[in-house]
Structure 1
Amino acid sequence: MMRRILAVDDDNDILEVLQFILEDSGYEVVTLSDGNNLMEKILEKHPDLILLDIMLGNLDGRELCKAVKKQDSTHNIPVIMISASHNIANTINQEGAPNDFIAKPFDINNLLSKIKNQLPDAA
């Protein structure tokens, strides 16, 4: 079964790159260019994993991650936070924290490895 990844970033160029890389690696990809409809999209698409940018225009990806982790219907979905800064690493293991993070610019193999770690039975 193809695993579905929801990629959320306000940079359409990054979304296009993510979609290309992930589809080429055997994942189904759903993209979202802002976080306004994140919960709605999650409930509609049922992703197996969420790639979430930390800065989404006027929204904070950390707050969106906390919202995902707080909901009974979504708290088990792994979230990998994408950030241009490395200081997000210290938020892992806190309540509502992402499962992992990757810094921009990201290395493709590192990204795929982190996804596989969160989806061990994936392609």
Structure 2
Amino acid sequence: MSMTKLENTLINLARSHLNSVLSYYEAHSAGDNSEEAEADYMGDHGALFALLELGHISDSGIGTEAKAELLEIEAEHAAAVPWPAESESSPPINVDVRYQDGRLGTVDVSEARHTIVLGGNQPD
């Protein structure tokens, strides 16, 4: 089944916003830190993620082909995000923790999955 005109429009909008966001990343890494570029980026980034959200909603009204296309666009964005190199301004990869039973340990947060924080670090 082919995509509807609305689905094609949503995909085209997402691609357009993705291209604008990727252009911002390139310009920003080249030193363009203007307020105008930042404002344009914020608008394009917000619009892109609003459109990409449709790919994660089970009953959004768009078909599986359109959802797959949106998820592909999301993956393209994720692959292009200019993550900063590890530096003092970056969070540490290994973090000291106190477990619920009072033991101390180190956790590699690059391997972390969803975490639930239940309280402070003080043992009972």
State which structure, 1 or 2, has the greater radius of gyration over its C-alpha atoms. 2
Query: TM-score of the superposition, structure 1-length normalised?
Result: 0.22
Query: TM-score of the superposition, structure 2-length normalised?
Result: 0.22
Q: Which has the higher helix share?
A: 2
